[in-house]
Amino acid sequence: MNSKADTHVHTYYSGVSNYKVLRFPESIIKPEVQVERARKNGMNVLCITDHDAVKGAFEAQKYAKKYDDIEIVVGEEVTSADGEVLAYWLNELVPPGLPIEETIDIIHEQGGLAVAPHPFSFYVPCLRDRIFDLNLDGIEVINGGHVDHFTNTKAQQVFKEHPGRWAPFSGSDAHSVYTTGYNWTEFEGSGAEDFRTAIENKKTIACGQPAPAFAQVQWSIEVVMGAQKMLLKALAGTLEPDEDNPLITKMISISDVKKIGGLIGGFFYLLPPMPFLAEFAATKWLSRKSHALLNELDTKFQMDREQVFKICVYVPVEYSDKMMDAIDAVIEPLYPGYRRAFSITEVTGTWKPLKGSHPYKGRPGKIETAQEHKIEFIVKENDLKRVLLKIREVHPYEEPMIDVSPTYAWKSML
């Protein structure tokens, strides 16, 4: 039986975002509300991963103890000096701002697991190519908050090129209940321990797709309206201090001038159709940027590849060495520092020579079988004709079986 996990969810403990000149709450959702929404979405495991905070995860875990259909994994989205990393199965906070290697060591020392979120995002701090030299347990191949066409596509491409290296993750990255439920990670079993086993065995399955644009609009309206209410209360002096709530602490601490500025800005944002226009503009920008990056990747791919040919030839076992020596003598080495690069598979060949043929083995009219070697190798285009002539010259069969398939190799590897 497969179960579902949302591996990347935020609460109001994620605090306030600082994006260029903009300041806004990351989320206004309480931990227990995210638990209830996860249950409604059919999640068996929920990972609370607030920005540089674990208190919300512990609160969610305590709240969920009354249920037997969901388990909470204490997590954190840690802001390292080199990009964000998701930490799971934590006992305490992982401090932000440290080098990524040290951050991952601290996670593992707690018995936790480390995963790269949105590893190729072009607008959120991420690890990018650092994932190749880090001791990561998984990478996010579907991030529900990235509606652009580049981030997830690039992550999925890299994952496919390195099978078995990481566990694949699909997390909603939800800062609102409206953006949950569209994507998730599946695993065999039913609870948090089975989920961990699946991660360690690289057996997780990334499912779903990013939340639609309308859900992102709902999130933005939710955040702005929630902030407006708190700003009004803070300005009136009726907002009760709560040291456990980073949003309330922030609202109380800012000056009255900034409170009024925030109220005015929020008022104009909420006027129809402003939220939809803002989302449309953001989506268009993301689309243009992602298409430019994809075109850049495609151009790089076209420039960095060279057409080569894969040749497969079947020879009697006793002729293998002679054939490989003959081929190696007439081709340019494909890989610097190596010669005689072949793949050999032992197979059983069968054929029936017809009248008038001159078989190397067998007699006309009789079915013959023999042990053969299937020899496979790659050659450059300028060696193709020469090597085919050499195979026919050396091969003992009257009609050798030769298969030629065009393919590509990276120039940087040749």
CATH of the domain at 380: 3.30.70.120
Q: Are 38 and 172 in contact (CB under 8 A)?
A: no
pLDDT at 132 over 80: yes
Residues 10 and 148 in one domain: yes
**For residue 20, what pLDDT band results from cuts at 50, 70 and 90?**
low
Are residues 360 and 273 both part of a single domain? no
Residues 122, 264: one domain?
no
Here the contacts of 255-260 (C-beta below 8 Å, separation 24 or greater) are 259/231, 259/234, 259/235, 260/235
**Separation between Cα atoms, residue 346 and residue 313, nearest integer Å:** 12
- Provide long-range contacts, Cβ within 8 A and 24+ apart, for 295-299: 297/154
Strands (E), 224-353: 305-316, 343-351
- Contact 3/45 with Cβ under 8 angstroms? yes
Of 211, 236, 271, the last residue of a domain is 211
274-329 tens-digit pLDDT: 888 888 888 888 888 888 887 776 676 566 667 899 999 999 999 999 999 999 99
Q: pLDDT band for position 413 (50/70/90)?
A: very low
Please state, as a whole number, how many other Cβ atoms lie within 10 Å of the Cβ of residue 306.
Answer: 13
- pLDDT mean over 30-52: 98
* Predicted confidence (pLDDT) at residue 409 exceeds the cutoff of 70: yes
């600082």: which residue's tokens? 18
| Each residue's pLDDT tens digit, 357-401 | 989 988 899 999 999 999 999 999 899 999 999 999 999 999 999
Asked if residue 381 and residue 242 are part of one domain, the reply reads: no
Residue in 175, 177, 195 with CA at minimum distance from that of residue 187:
195
Q: Give the residue, 1 or 104, on which the prediction is more confident.
A: 104
Quote the pLDDT of residue 186: 98
The answer to whether 402 and 379 are in contact (CB under 8 A) is no
Residue 414 scores a pLDDT above 60: no
* pLDDT value for 304: 61
Mean pLDDT score, 21-31 = 84
> pLDDT tens-digit profile of 159-171?
998 999 999 999 9
Tell me, yes or no, whether 240 and 142 share the same domain: no
Residues 244 and 274 in one domain: yes
Please check whether residues 142 and 40 belong to one and the same domain: yes
Check whether residue 31 and residue 47 sit in a common domain.
yes
Question: What confidence tier does 7 reach under pLDDT thresholds 50, 70, 90?
Answer: very high
What is the domain extent for residue 354? 304-413
Domain count, the chain: 3
Residues 273 and 315 occupy one common structural domain: no
Dihedral Cα 50, 55, 59, 65, nearest 10 deg: 90
DSSP string, 322-334: HHHHHHHHHS--S
Q: Do 26 and 166 fall within a single domain?
A: yes
The answer to whether 299 touches 362, Cβ cutoff 8 Å, is: no
Which helix (H) or strand (E) segment holds residue 58: the answer is: helix 55-64
Say which range, 137-141, 205-209, 336-340, has the weakest mean pLDDT: 336-340
At 385 the pLDDT is 94
pLDDT of residue 328: 94
CATH classification of the domain holding 203: 3.20.20.140
Structure tokens at 149: 């066409």
Q: Which residue has the tokens 């652009």?
A: 148
**Residues 55 and 189 occupy one common structural domain:** yes
At which of 211, 246, 265 does a domain end?
A: 211
Give me the count of residues in the chain.
Answer: 414
* 3-state percent helix, strand, coil for the chain, nearest multiple of 5: 40, 25, 35
